[in-house]
Amino acid sequence: MPSAPNSFRTGPDERGHFGIFGGRYVAETLMPLILELEKAYNDAKADPSFQNELDYLLEHYAGRPSPLYFAKRLTEKLGGAKIYFKRDELNHTGSHKINNVLGQVLMAKRMGKTRVIAETGAGQHGVATATACALFDIPCVVFMGAVDVERQAPNVVRMNMLGAEVRAVTAGSATLKDAMNEALRDWVATCENTFYCIGTVAGPHPYPAMVRDFQCVIGNETRVQMMKAEGRLPDTLVACIGGGSNAMGLFHPFLDDKGVRLVGVEAGGKGVETGEHAASLTGGRPGVLHGNRTYLLQDEEGQITEAHSISAGLDYPGIGPEHSWLKEMGRIEYVSATDAEALAAFQMLCKLEGIIPALEPAHALGHVIKLAPTLPKDNLLVMNLCGRGDKDVFAVAERLGMKI
């Protein structure tokens, strides 16, 4: 194992690598565009007016900062750690995805692009992209696996209402990875006028770093809010992981605070031991897909295997490359929660706190339910409640045999 760096926050290197992970494994056609994006993003980072415009939108349009809420009843029920929720589900459009999308759509404008495309799983990133594109009057096409179009139907309707075109992708397993393939195929043909707005900390460099930077608002706010609430940093942070953007956004600002324990929760599907899961870090190994090297679910030869999760947003056989690196460095613990654990957590949160969570953070909660009772009462635990469950109510009702 490589030795620990002085800081975990300096990556990636100039070639977009986090250790052996990351990089730019894309078709040559896209390479010049990706280099152009990298340059434009570096310019934007150095331009205060870019950050000002983004900050303004985050505050007045998305509704940031999101509250840091002490979940008293849940804490009492679990009888251990003091549990706080970072309430990114209260953002406009209902999840953390808007943080990143506002940044990227500003980049699209800055680069003079006249069309935006996105992939989406749960539909939250698609809805956020459709929203920002409506706001900035940019045509938007969202690629979504046909299976997800079915199970996240409310979000398809929302995207259509917002003026976006949703293209159902039937290739492969017809879920998130296939939507990403199709978005990349579109982009190769349209890259001269089109901006590809990737929804998580994956894809070729500079996306993993750029999306992370845009999501770090979550962790930066949490730092300030926890200092105000408790006068010190939190002890434990927990977040769910699909591609890893909400988790990275919460964790990254704390990577160099050694005392802060970081726990990423992947989707365990029917159980990691059954092979039917989406836990790339637990059940996969390094490979190359979608422009970067990272942990992937794959067979012996390197054919990508299908992920399985009740949550469309976590149903992805890969993970952002920086997570792969942080796993190997031992800085973040990665665990998993099953479909059943997520469903139980979903119901518990509705009843105990009056919050209907998205199925994605319900996985994080599934782990908190196991973890919190093992921790002392003065352990300050923050869970990223990164999405609300409106999109999931029909699917969950069906699973629970409720009549609609």
Q: Is 122 a binder of ligand PLP (CB under 6 A)? A: yes
Partner touching 313 among other proteins, ligand PLP, none, CB below 5 to 8 Å by kind: ligand PLP
Structural contact between residues 249 and 218, judged by C-beta atoms closer than 8 angstroms = yes
State the binding string over 168-207 for ligand PLP (x if CB under 6 A, else -): --------------------------------x-------
Q: Quote the tokens at residue 157.
A: 């309707």
Partner touching 188 among ligand PLP, other proteins, none, CB below 5 to 8 Å by kind: other proteins
Beta bridge partners of 241: 266
Buried b (16+ CB within 10 A) or exposed e, 121-159: bbbbbbbbbbbbbeeeebebbbbbbbbbbebbeebbebb
Q: Is 387 a binder of ligand PLP (CB under 6 A)? A: yes
Between 191 and 386, whose beta carbon lies closer to ligand PLP? 386
Q: In 187-325, at which residue ranges do the beta strands (DSSP E only) sit? A: 194-196, 236-241, 261-269, 285-289, 291-296
Residue count, binding to ligand PLP (CB under 6 A): 21
Partner touching 28 among ligand PLP, other proteins, none, CB below 5 to 8 Å by kind: other proteins
Of 303, 330, 378, 401, which one interacts with other proteins (CB under 8 A)?
Answer: 303
Between 78 and 211, whose beta carbon lies closer to ligand PLP? 211
Angle at CA 158, nearest 5°, toward 195 and 187?
20
Q: Is 190 a binder of other proteins (CB under 8 A)? A: yes
Q: Distance between CA 356 and CA 313 in Å, rounded? A: 16
Between 96 and 293, whose beta carbon lies closer to ligand PLP? 96
Residues 6+ apart with CB under 8 A from 399: 310, 343
Q: Quote the tokens at residue 182.
A: 């199709």
Interface residues for other proteins in 12-31 (CB under 8 A)? Answer: 15, 23-31
Q: Quote the tokens at residue 377.
A: 């009462």
Between 185 and 331, whose beta carbon lies closer to other proteins? 185
Strands 140-145 and 165-169: parallel
Q: In 325-370, at which residue ranges do the beta strands (DSSP E only) sit? A: 333-338
Partner touching 360 among ligand PLP, other proteins, none, CB below 5 to 8 Å by kind: ligand PLP
State the binding string over 136-175 for other proteins (x if CB under 8 A, else -): -----------------------------------xx---
Between 1 and 189, whose beta carbon lies closer to other proteins? 189
